[in-house]
Amino acid sequence: MLSTIQPSRCLSRFPVHLPTCGRTKSRFLRVVSSAQPVTTAPLADQSQILSIRDSLLSRHLSAVQVADSYLGRLKQTEPQIGSFLHLSEPDKVLKQAQEIDDKIKRNEEVGPLAGVLVAVKDNICTADMPSTGGSHILDGYRPPFDATAVKRLKDLGAIVVGKTNLDEFGMGSSTEASAFKVTANPWDLSRVPGGSSGGSAAAVSARQCVVSLGSDTGGSVRQPASFCGVAGLKPTYGRVSRFGLMAYASSLDVIGCFGSSVADTGILLHAISGHDALDATSSKREVPDFTSQFLSASSLKSRPLEGLRVGLIRETVDGGVDSGVKSAIQGAAAHLEQLGSIVTEVSLPSFSLGLPAYYILASSESSSNLSRYDGVR
C-alpha cells in the first residue's frame, strides 16, 4: 500500500526498510469512474494530494486504507526519527477517514483535502490536542480552539495526524533545542533535520504524512525543507492568518507549508490563505489559485526559462561566505543558464545588514511576546 503513495524518489539512506518507489505513475492515477469525474490536471502525477483525491473518488482506494498506510508508516519510522511530540489516536484518525468513505458512498461532496493526513507544528494551536511550543512551560496545555490555518484544513477534509517537534518556541535551527526530544534527519539519522520546524519537515520527508504546517520567522520552514529534501514555503506576511500561532516575533512570523512537491505545497497554501477577522494583520487581497500556472514537466521545452533574467547578488558570494555555500550558489546559477535564463550579477550593499536587523527585531519582539510565560507578569 505504501508504495502507492510514495513520490518518485526513494529515501535510500534511511536505515529502515522502505517500500520500493520508482518513476512509474502511481496507481492513484488510474482511470476514474465517469459517474464521478475528478480533476486530473497535469499536476496529478506530481501531487500526492491530487493522487489521493483521484483514488478516493474513483473508489480505487478508501480513505481508511490511505490512513492505515500512513499510520503503519508512522509506527515503522517514528521511533528512529522522532518527528512528533504528540500523535492522534489511530482509532480517531481511522474514524475520521471512515466518515469520508461514508460520504463518498452516499455520493456526497467531500472537501479537496479529504483523506489527506496533515502534521502540525506544535506551536500552532489545535483543539483537544497538546500545543506545547516545544517547551515544558506549556507541557500538557490543550487549547480550546484551532488556529485558523488548522480549522481551514479540517473544513476541507484534512485529518490532523499529530503535532511535530520544534526548537523551543521556534528558537533554533536544528530541532535540538526542543525541551522534549531531538528529531533526526530521515536521510541520515546522525544528522539534524534543520529547524525550528524540523519535525514538520522530517515528517513529510519520511512520508509519515502527506503535507505539514510549520512556522517561519527567519528561515524556520525554508532551512529544514532544504535539509530534508522537501518543498517548503514561507508565504508573504499577511497571506496566512497568524491566529493560533504562538507569537515569537510578531512582525516576522508566518505559518508556512511543507510538501513532497511544489504542487502539494501550492495546494496547501491555497487552502490556508485568506483574510481572517481574528487577525488584523491578515491581508484582504483576493487569494489566487497558486497552482493555476504550474506546468507538467512533460510540457516544458528543453530551455523552459528562455529569456528570464535572474540577478545574482554579489554580496552572497563575496568574502566570508563558506566555500561550499558559494559553490552551491554558483552551481545553481549555471543550471539556470542551462535552462535558458540570463544570469546577471547585481549589487545589494545593504545585504549584510539583514542579519543584524533581524536579530534586533526578533529578539526585541520575542522578549515581549514570551514574557507572558515567565510566571512573573
**CA 335 to the chain's CA centroid:** 26
Count of C-beta atoms within a 10 Å radius of residue 349: 8
Quote the CA–CA distance of 225 and 219 in Å, as a whole number.
10
The single-letter code of the amino acid at 328 is A
50 Cβ neighbours under 8 A, 6+ residues apart: 39, 40, 41, 43, 44, 263, 267
Say whether 190 is catalytic: no
Q: What is the largest CA-CA distance in the chain?
A: 65
Q: Cell 480533476 belongs to which residue?
A: 39
112-99-125-171 Cα dihedral, nearest 10 degrees = -70
Q: How buried is residue 91: exposed, middle or buried, by Cβ count under 10 Å (0-12/13-18/19+)?
A: exposed
Classify 327 in phi/psi space as left (phi over 0), alpha (psi -120 to 50) or beta.
alpha
User: Helices 63-81 and 90-105 meet at what angle, rounded to 10?
Assistant: 160
> Vertex 69, ends 68 and 70: CA angle to 5°?
95
- Quick one: cell of 370? 514570551
Catalytic residue selected from 69, 196, 341, 366: 196
Return d(Cα 51, Cα 264) in angstroms, integer: 10
Assess whether 196 carries a catalytic annotation.
Answer: yes
Report the C-alpha dihedral over residues 70, 35, 270, 42, rounded to 10 degrees: 90
From the list 51, 58, 62, 121, the catalytic residue is: 121
The helix/strand/coil state of 345 is strand
Q: Which of 51, 220, 241, 260 is catalytic?
A: 220
What CA–CA distance (Å, rounded) separates 244 from 145?
Answer: 8
Angle at 293 between CA 288 and CA 298, to 5 degrees: 155
Instruction: Cite the active site residues.
Output: 121, 196, 220
